[in-house]
Amino acid sequence: MTDNHQELEGRSWVKVLTEGELPDGSAKAVMCGQKAVCLTHYDGQYAAMDNLCTHQGGPLGEGTIENGLLRCPWHGWSFDPLTGKAQGRTGVDVEAFPVEVRTDGVYVALPEEATHVPNVSDVIAETLVNWGVRWVFGMVGSSNLGMADALRRQEKAKTLRFIGIRHEGAASFAASAYGKLTGRPAACLSIAGPGATNMLTGLWDANVDRSPVIALTGQVDAQVLGPGAFQELDLQAAFGKVAQWSQPVLHRSRFAELANLACKSALLNRGVSQLILPDEIQVLPLPEGETAGKPDGRISSREISPPEEAVEGALKLLRDVKRPLMIIGHGARTHMPAILDLAEELNSPVITTFKAKGQISDRHPLGGGVIGRSGTPVASWLMSESDCLLVLGASFSDHTGISPTKPTIQVDFDPMTLGKFHAVDVPVWGEIGRTVKLLKSRLDSGEWVDQRPELAERWRLWREEKKRREAVTGEKGLNSATIFAAMTRHVPDDALIAVDVGNNTYSFGRYFECTGQAVLMSGYLGSIGFGYPAAIGAWAASQEGDPMFANRPVVAVTGDGGFAQYMAELTTAVKYQMKITLVLLNNNELGKISKEQRSGNWPVWQTSLQNPNFAEYARICGAKGIRVTAKDELDEALVESLAHEGPSLVEVMSDPDQI
């Protein structure tokens, strides 16, 4: 202990506490800038030393002073509490720092913080930024701290943003939704072991829906891989086929090149790339001369023209029919202007798969709504009356129910998707936008029926039926026709809507009429719980400068079962003040499963739910919460919540039988 306020070259004095704050015979960890220091008070004297035990890095400030020795709380290694000298034959001394007791408190002299030396994590993070990664969703933890610090520096430089979530599954769902919406990769970050496995469901969602995502998974030290260290898993094996590209980062890796390949693979293969980051490798100094990677010269235009033979086959079929019908999937979402031009030329109605809901307005003269189990009688009638199907960026899944008996032209960028479930008359491998432009430019003849009047009549009939269903009342809550009619009235035309899985989703597809909204869902995986984390991903896209998504309102639609799986993420929305409006249909039941049990002649069993008051829960979390129990409360609740500057939740007590 000194009392002369001496200036020590290369050190800075930092006040750590007031005298008397730490009782004699005690130790305490204090933060001095970014340095953790163990402060001790023993025999009337103060001392300071590095907080990390020289054995395995145990926190000395959490230790105890016993019989004149400071004992590490992890394994009992002992040190002199005033000098840091190790006691015992195997001990290594802890670095000690000068201390002064001044009139206003206790000060410690610490060395000036060393200039940061770029490391492996820095070059990986910078490479991700260069490839357009602007968001990372994840949880900082023990085996990803080096990578997390590199991301912190990028966030400080305003090149990306990090969203700290409450469950890694929400991080991967948010990244998947962001990729589905924008076509650009976001990243999700986890620790080794359980943190990485928690991300698997959201990554499978990205995999099967062809969304680009970068998974950054921490790992135990490379030197202890194999024997089964704490939280060690074989992450390449665990991720299996969910990651279409997966590589560990090792001591002699070409670090920037691995990050380049991860980004390139995610974009071109439209899927998940995984970088496995052993703990000690994350902070290795960057080899001399290695710089961050960039996409320049690594990716070409993906506007690939289809083979001439396929184009001629499609033209011949289209020229010979009278009532063509265009069916649009999620894969066609970025090509809608060209698709609508072709539809006008053919007088062809346009219907969509459920995943593509909203890609054409339900008010467009040629818009026919959604086909399939989540669809409307309008779309199914159109398919029944058609004499040719032009399928763009869609598969033929059972849920969609595209007829296999109609003459069919199928266009897709992925040759494996063509004729995947059954043979089609004309499979066309090509980029959708370029293909439809080619078809339009060469359609020099045809006698296509103007189907607009019939389409308008089908919409009139369906809207009358929806009104009739709205009028049906029940004792269990509001019916779905009423709920989604109100949403149709009030949800802004440019909203980004994330929907969950369950009866709430079927009803959304059936009753909600899209005008200009973009819809996100867990398509081929159909994972319950997707809705609210996906809204977080959509909100991220709305914060960027991209005019396609900037400042667009974000709405989530979930059931009580789906929201409850990730309901803690409401606190994430509050933390970052995300303007997300959640419409939660609460029927105290897994209604879709009850329906399936009844349909299969099973007893309804274990589908009831014990729920909190979700509106009250929202208020406890710091969000706006409104509960709706009557029809005349619904419109006002939606208007109020949509106007709220921050996260809000409208809990609608709904009838599980009226969907």
Task: State the DSSP H helix or E strand holding residue 494, giving kind and residue range, or none if neither.
Answer: none
pLDDT at 227: 67
Question: What CATH architecture is 472-653?
Answer: 3-Layer(aba) Sandwich (3.40)
250 has a pLDDT exceeding 80 = yes
Q: In what order do the strands lie in the sheet with 243-248?
A: 161-164, 135-138, 186-190, 213-219, 272-278, 243-248
Q: Side chain identity at 432, as an amino acid letter?
A: I
Q: Say if CB 535 and CB 541 are below 8 A apart.
A: no
pLDDT at 436: 96
CA distance 102 to 657: 74
Q: Say if CB 654 and CB 587 are below 8 A apart.
A: yes
**What pTM value is reported for the model?**
0.91
pLDDT at 3: 42
5 has a pLDDT exceeding 70 = no
Length of the chain: 659
pLDDT at 330: 93
244 has a pLDDT exceeding 60 = yes
CA distance 551 to 639: 18
Question: What CATH architecture is 120-283?
Answer: 3-Layer(aba) Sandwich (3.40)
φ and ψ at 324, to 5 degrees?
Answer: -70, 150
1 has a pLDDT exceeding 80 = no
CA distance 593 to 148: 41
CA distance 361 to 399: 21
Q: Per-residue DSSP letters for 32-48?
A: ETTEEEEEEEETTEEEE
* Mean pLDDT confidence for 109-120: 88
* Mean pLDDT confidence for 326-355: 95
Domains 11-111 and 120-283 share a fold: no
Domain edges within the chain: 11-111, 120-283, 308-453, 472-653
Task: State the DSSP H helix or E strand holding residue 235, giving kind and residue range, or none if neither.
Answer: helix 235-239
Q: Say if CB 175 and CB 137 are below 8 A apart.
A: yes
**Residue recorded with tokens 């009844």:** 598
Question: Percent of the chain at pLDDT above 90?
Answer: 80
358 has a pLDDT exceeding 60 = yes
* Mean pLDDT confidence for 344-367: 96
pLDDT band at 240 (very low <50, low <70, confident <90, very high): confident
- Residues with Cβ within 8 Å of 413's Cβ and at least 6 positions away in sequence, in order, are 302, 304, 331, 393, 429, 430, 431, 432
Q: Which residue from 269, 303, 306 is spatially nearest to 430, judged by alpha carbons?
A: 306
Better-predicted residue by pLDDT, 282 or 231: 282
519 has a pLDDT exceeding 90 = yes
* Neighbouring C-alpha atoms within 13 Å toward the C-beta of 58: 17
Helix, strand, coil abundance in the chain, percent, nearest 5? 35, 25, 40
- Residues with Cβ within 8 Å of 371's Cβ and at least 6 positions away in sequence, in order, are 327, 351, 352, 353, 379, 380, 383, 400, 401, 402
553 has a pLDDT exceeding 50 = yes
pLDDT at 321: 95
Question: Percent of the chain at pLDDT above 70?
Answer: 97
* Mean pLDDT confidence for 361-373: 94
CA distance 149 to 39: 25
Q: Which residue from 99, 97, 48, 98 is spatially nearest to 70, judged by alpha carbons?
A: 48
Per-residue pLDDT reduced to its tens digit, 401-425 = 888 899 999 999 888 889 988 899 9
Sign of the four-CA dihedral 340, 343, 347, 353: negative
**Residue recorded with tokens 């011949």:** 316
pLDDT at 356: 95
- Give the three-class secondary structure for 513: coil
* Mean pLDDT confidence for 378-383: 95
pLDDT at 12: 85
Strand partners for 273: 214, 245
The number of angstroms, rounded, from the C-alpha of 76 to the middle of its chain's C-alpha atoms is 43
Q: Say if CB 294 and CB 130 are below 8 A apart.
A: yes
CA torsion, ordered 136, 137, 142, 147, to nearest 10 deg: 0
CA distance 639 to 650: 10
Task: Please give the C-alpha separations between residue 382 and each of 187, 327, 379, 402, in angstroms, as whole numbers.
Answer: 41, 10, 5, 11
For 308-453, the fitting CATH number among 3.40.50.300, 1.10.390.10, 3.40.50.1220, 1.10.8.60 is 3.40.50.1220
Q: Which residue from 204, 198, 190, 173 is spatially nearest to 276, judged by alpha carbons?
A: 190
CA distance 46 to 35: 18
pLDDT at 477: 93
Q: What is the CATH number of domain 11-111?
A: 2.102.10.10
Among 94-108, 220-234, 367-381, 587-601, where is mean pLDDT lowest?
220-234
Q: In what order do the strands lie in the sheet with 69-71?
A: 64-66, 69-71, 78-79, 86-87
Mean pLDDT of the chain: 93
φ and ψ at 108, to 5 degrees?
Answer: -125, 135
* Mean pLDDT confidence for 557-569: 97
Q: Are strands 580-586 and 554-559 parallel, antiparallel or unpaired?
A: parallel
Per-residue pLDDT reduced to its tens digit, 169-228 = 999 999 999 999 999 999 999 999 999 999 999 999 999 999 999 999 998 877 666 666
Q: Say if CB 431 and CB 334 are below 8 A apart.
A: no
Q: Is 611 left (phi over 0), alpha (psi -120 to 50) or beta?
A: beta
Per-residue pLDDT reduced to its tens digit, 264-309 = 999 999 999 999 999 999 999 999 889 999 999 998 888 888 999 9
Strand partners for 387: none
Tell me the angle at which helices 503-511 and 480-490 cross, rounded to the nearest 10 degrees. Answer: 60
pLDDT at 221: 78
pLDDT at 225: 65
* Mean pLDDT confidence for 96-110: 93
609 has a pLDDT exceeding 70 = yes
4 has a pLDDT exceeding 50 = no
- Give the three-class secondary structure for 393: coil
